Amino acid sequence: MKIAREINDIREIVVGFKHENQTIALVPTMGNLHLGHLTLVKEAQKHADKVVVSIFVNPMQFDRAEDLKTYPRTLENDLKLLEEANVDAVFTPTPEVMYPQGLGLQTYVEVPDLANSLEGALRPGHFRGVATVVCKLFNIVQPDYACFGLKDYQQVALIKEFVKDLNIQTKIVEVPIVRHEDGLAYSSRNNLLNQAERSIAPRLHAELMKLGELIKQAPTAEIPNIIDATINAIDLKGFKTDDLTIVDADTLSPEISHSRRVVILISAYLGKIRLIDNLVVERC
Ligand code: PAF
């Protein structure tokens, strides 16, 4: 497995792959790898001859300085897992490599509407940071495919949008959420939960499933009351719900009276840790 810390080095590696007529899939990550990421790697290996994983804790997408400071960094273990998973190359730049002029002077990618609605409204600047770094990674690695997990549902929609708008040729591969046996979606943030919080955390998914069943058949007019009742139920379990919204699964519009497929997007605090999850529901 080749490891590159500089942009020129990863470019040289990629040029080598392309000279051998190999296709390339990129798996962008912020490290602290878990089964969710390794599933993305497996999916990437199905699509392309060579898999490149990037590990970069992107300061531009953190809306809270505290989150950036405490984000788990486990590079040595990450590299071991990627070696075992037969990844071909890893790109691990520093913030200085990615943003040599600092964040203030960096050109950025702004995706209208999607970047500032839903999760974007709660985390100002977050999606601008995601779109900018992913666009830079696409320009650096020039992948044929890039794999993203659907746990970050709005992130995937936003990336598909700017890829289309900016005529980027990389194909976006969407990978279903990977869950622990108890239903909790894999996330690097789970490592920050204490033991008591970790035992409560799966209840978020349980409530999401119950809500999914209810809204399959419910008339649209009843949905706001059902949402309120679910927020109460979630908060009684020990969470503090940050947002619970149901939107069209394709457009992410809150107008769902004619939507067959909707997605429930939820974010909730457990202590200081903000968990997110989602569920796509086909309505009858
Ligand atoms: O989903 C993530 O881990 C990050 O948002 C991403 C896509 C690697 C960009 O920093």
Residue 283 Cα to ligand 1 midpoint, Å, equals: 30
Q: Do residues 149 and 221 both lie within one domain? A: no
Task: Please write the tens of the pLDDT for every residue from 40-64.
Answer: 999 999 999 999 999 999 999 999 9
Ordered strands of the 273-282 beta sheet: 240-248, 261-270, 273-282
Q: For ligand 1, say whether the CB of 61 is within 6 Å of any of its atoms.
A: yes
Are 196 and 125 part of one and the same domain? no
User: According to the model, what pLDDT value does residue 92 have?
Assistant: 98
Q: Helix %, strand %, coil % for the chain, to 5? A: 45, 20, 35
User: In the prediction, which pLDDT does 140 show?
Assistant: 98
Residue 154: phi and psi, rounded to 5, are -70, -35
Instruction: Give 172 Cα–ligand 1 centroid separation in angstroms.
Output: 14
When divided into structural domains, the chain yields a total of: 2
For the CA of 130, the closest atom of ligand 1 is 9
| Cα–Cα distance measured from residue 119 to residue 97, given in angstroms and rounded to the nearest whole number | 28
With the most atoms of ligand 1 within 8 angstroms of its CB, the residue from 26, 27, 30 to mutate is: 30
Burial of 194 (0-12, 13-18, 19+ CB in 10 A): exposed
Which of 143, 175, 207 delimits the end of a domain? 175
What tokens appear for 219 in the block? 């008339």
Residue nearest to atom 8 of ligand 1 (CA): 29
150 lines ligand 1 (CB under 6 A): no
Closest residue to atom 9 of ligand 1, CA basis:
130
> Are residue 217 and residue 169 in the same domain, yes or no?
no
Q: Supply the residue whose CA is at minimum distance from atom 1 of ligand 1.
A: 29
- What pTM was computed for the model? 0.96
Provide the pLDDT for residue 98.
98
What CATH number does residue 199 fall under?
3.30.1300.10
163 and 30 in a single domain? The answer is: yes
The preferred substitution site among 40, 61, 189 for testing ligand 1, maximizing ligand atoms within 8 Å of CB, is 61
* Whole-number pLDDT of residue 22: 98
Pocket test for ligand 1, best of 134, 141, 148, 190 (most atoms within 8 A of CB): 134
Q: Would the CB of 146 count as within 6 Å of ligand 1?
A: no
Domain end among 147, 175, 203: 175
Residue 150 inside a domain? The answer is yes
CB of 134 closer than 6 angstroms to any ligand 1 atom: yes
Q: So what's the pLDDT on residue 203?
A: 98
Positions marked active-site: 37
Q: Are residues 14 and 147 in the same domain?
A: yes
Range of the domain at 276: 188-282
For residue 182, is it within any domain? Answer: no
Low-confidence ranges of the chain (pLDDT < 70): none
Q: Name the nearest CA neighbour of 31 among 66, 1, 75, 61.
A: 75
